[in-house]
Amino acid sequence: TTGKKSIVLSSESRKELAKQAKVTKEEKRAQIDERHRYLISRLADGIGLSEQQVEEAIISDDKFQLIEQFFDPNGLKKLLFFYQDVLQEKSNASLRSAGSTNSLLHKKLFITMGSTEDFTGTCAFFLRTSDKAVTASNVSQEINFGIFDCSNGNILQGLEFFLSQIMIPALKSQENWGAVKEGLKNSQIQDFLYSVDTFVGTLSSSRQNIEDKIQLTKVDIDIYLSNLQNPSDYITAG
């Protein structure tokens, strides 16, 4: 047979697994400090969940260790969270109808590397500004937070909105440009901002072209070809 085998766990085994999962979650909860609280607070505000919901999602995530790697000196440069519909795992699957897939979708917040899961909802991201270790005292200075909304998987529209409504206004209002003392009056800064504006315009055109695409109808040409016998038939068909 080629069908999948069903593994049936005894009630004792299920209780033991649940007990182990609870212990693991409590161990993670014990590791939460002011740095984690800062991330949790930003996520709750940005996504619209309570801090308790965010904390529960984080300690239930099997990629929890990525947070620690993000805090380490010379650690990960980014930490990503997706908040979107996912298929919920269910027990007693054989008792459900095969056509009830839609009822299994539910919103979930989870940590991701951004390369394995399809992005269809909201991405909350944290970016490091240096290679320093992230501590409770410097977490608000060393980490930038942002939201990238691609509801229904519309990535081009999400990126266009993020750049045009958030990043470009922020750049154009920025007074401190580091070593560039003239700031916005500097020709290179002006060229940079012009390039970003042009890129956003290209994004907008690409999105509109995709949305306004022409869907060609498939035509069955066999009925036209089956009676072709000689050159004159081809001319007539043409």
| Rounded distance between C-alpha atoms, residue 188 and residue 59, angstroms | 46
Residues 33 and 139 placed together within one structural domain of the fold: yes
Residue 237 lies in a domain: no
Residue 98 lies in a domain: no
Residues 179 and 80 placed together within one structural domain of the fold: no
Residues 77 and 147 placed together within one structural domain of the fold: yes
Structural domain range at position 66:
13-89+103-151
| Rounded distance between C-alpha atoms, residue 124 and residue 232, angstroms | 66
Residue 221 lies in a domain: yes
**Is there a contact between 196 and 171 (Cβ–Cβ < 8 Å)?**
yes
Residue pLDDT, tens place only, 97-128: 444 444 588 899 999 998 888 899 999 999 99
Residue 6 lies in a domain: no
Residues 181 and 170 placed together within one structural domain of the fold: yes
Residue pLDDT, tens place only, 50-103: 999 999 999 999 999 999 999 999 999 999 999 999 887 655 544 444 444 445
**The pLDDT value given to residue 229:** 84
Residues 169 and 215 placed together within one structural domain of the fold: yes
**What pairs with residue 81 in β-bridges?**
111, 124
Residue 5 lies in a domain: no
Residues 213 and 130 placed together within one structural domain of the fold: no
| Rounded distance between C-alpha atoms, residue 157 and residue 151, angstroms | 9
Residues 43 and 133 placed together within one structural domain of the fold: yes
Residue pLDDT, tens place only, 147-199: 988 887 788 888 999 999 999 999 999 888 988 889 899 999 999 999 999 99
SS (H, E, C) 136-175: CCCHHHHEEEEEEECHHHCHHHHHHHHHHHHHHHHHHCCC
Residues 37 and 118 placed together within one structural domain of the fold: yes
**Is there a contact between 79 and 126 (Cβ–Cβ < 8 Å)?**
yes
| Rounded distance between C-alpha atoms, residue 159 and residue 165, angstroms | 10
Residues 206 and 135 placed together within one structural domain of the fold: no
Residues 168 and 113 placed together within one structural domain of the fold: no
| Rounded distance between C-alpha atoms, residue 155 and residue 119, angstroms | 8
Residues 144 and 46 placed together within one structural domain of the fold: yes
Residue pLDDT, tens place only, 13-49: 777 777 777 788 899 999 999 999 999 999 999 999 9
**The pLDDT value given to residue 95:** 41
Residues 145 and 221 placed together within one structural domain of the fold: no
Q: Indicate the helix (H) or strand (E) that contains 98.
A: none
Using alpha carbons, list the distances in angstroms from residue 159 to 80, 164, 217.
16, 8, 31
**The pLDDT value given to residue 108:** 94
How many folded domains does the chain comprise? 2
Nearest to 161 by CA among 173, 145, 150, 152: 150
Residue 119 lies in a domain: yes
Residue whose structure tokens are 């805090």: 71
Residue pLDDT, tens place only, 130-156: 999 999 999 999 999 999 888 877 888
Residue 185 lies in a domain: yes
